[in-house]
């Protein structure tokens, strides 16, 4: 089975400070090693390797259309943008989604009933949620820095996920995911909104609850919302790519008041 959720159980979903899942050893190691070993080159994806610590994302439709990408990767990406994968996500996170967004989703059945499509192929006129699974990463680093400091994702994303594919030879520290909350005292919606510059929030207004190491075969998924603060720690100079599969589910409407 190709799903990164094959070993996940509803009890694995943590609710503090927002609904999220951290799953280590998500896939069989032999499969992960094959995915890392066959990860497409910069040339195959059209990525500028000279850019400093720059994010790339190769969407599911682009992967499907690129015959040069290994068949295993095309199969994995297609599965994680499929109705079968959405059914897994809904079964795992339905209660958490209801808890986070009760006005949009009054009960788990409403979550399970969402009609999934593929982002970039289908539209929200005919589907209720658009899925994407992306070949993603960051280019090598010449000037140390964080690719994304503490922020909220786009307010149309219902869920997001990162499946890390760190090569064994990459011994670079950093590039870990931080899961944060607002500092005590920031209680009202207005107080929290005042902390933002676009989607970013200064770390003076947050505190880190958990740091998830950028490690091979580690999955992080979460329900997006006004409390879903996360970021990436600083990455020092390195010749290595940072590799992961990015997972997205978008709906119509706004899940939090911060605009990108």
Helix (H) or strand (E) holding 130: strand 129-138
b/e for 192-212, b at 16 or more Cβ within 10 A?
beebbeebbbeeebbebebeb
CB 219 within 8 A of CB 161: yes
Q: Which two tokens stand for residue 47?
A: 């990525």
DSSP string, 53-64: S-EEEE-HHHHH
pLDDT score recorded for residue 123: 96
Helices and strands (H, E) in the chain, number of each type: 7, 12
Q: CATH number for the 10-250 domain, one of 1.10.3470, 1.10.3210, 1.10.150, 2.60.120?
A: 2.60.120
> How far, in Å, CA of 220 to CA of 135, rounded?
15
Q: Is 174 left (phi over 0), alpha (psi -120 to 50) or beta?
A: left
pLDDT score recorded for residue 259: 79
> How far, in Å, CA of 147 to CA of 21, rounded?
22
The interaxial angle of helices 71-79 and 29-37, nearest 10 deg, is: 120
pLDDT score recorded for residue 160: 98
Q: Which two tokens stand for residue 11?
A: 């009890």
β-partners of residue 231 are 178
Residue whose pair of structure tokens reads 């989703």 in the numeric block: 105
Low-confidence ranges of the chain (pLDDT < 50): none
pLDDT score recorded for residue 187: 87
Largest Cα span, the chain: 53
Residue 43 sits at φ, ψ, to 5 deg, of -60, -40
pLDDT score recorded for residue 1: 84
Number of residues that this document lists for the chain: 260
- In 101-162, which residue ranges form alpha helices assigned H by DSSP? 108-112
């Amino acid at each position: 089975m190709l799903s990164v959720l094959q070993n996940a159980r509803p009890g694995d979903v943590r609710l503090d400070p927002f609904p999220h899942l951290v799953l280590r050893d998500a896939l069989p190691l032999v499969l992960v090693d094959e995915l890392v070993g066959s990860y497409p080159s910069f040339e195959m994806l059209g990525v500028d390797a000279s850019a400093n610590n720059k994010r790339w994302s190769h969407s599911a439709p682009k992967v499907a259309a690129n015959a040069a990408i290994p068949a295993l990767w095309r199969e994995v990406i297609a599965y994680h943008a499929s109705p079968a994968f959405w059914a897994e996500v809904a079964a795992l996170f339905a209660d958490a989604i209801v808890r986070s967004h009760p006005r949009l989703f009054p009960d788990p059945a409403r979550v399970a009933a969402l009609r999934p499509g593929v982002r970039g192929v289908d539209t929200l006129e005919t589907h209720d949620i658009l899925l994407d699974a992306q070949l993603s990463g960051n280019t090598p680093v010449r000037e140390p820095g964080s690719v994304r400091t503490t922020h909220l994702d786009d307010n149309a994303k219902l869920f997001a996920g990162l499946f890390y594919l760190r090569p064994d030879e990459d011994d670079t520290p950093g590039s870990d995911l931080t899961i944060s909350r607002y500092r005590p005292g920031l209680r009202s919606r207005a107080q929290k909104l005042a902390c933002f510059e676009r989607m970013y929030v200064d770390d003076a207004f947050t505190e880190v609850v958990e740091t998830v190491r950028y490690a091979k075969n580690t999955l992080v998924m979460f329900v997006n919302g006004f409390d879903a603060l996360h970021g990436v720690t600083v990455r020092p100079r390195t010749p290595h790519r940072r590799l992961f599969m990015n997972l997205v589910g978008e709906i119509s409407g706004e899940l939090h008041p911060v605009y990108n």
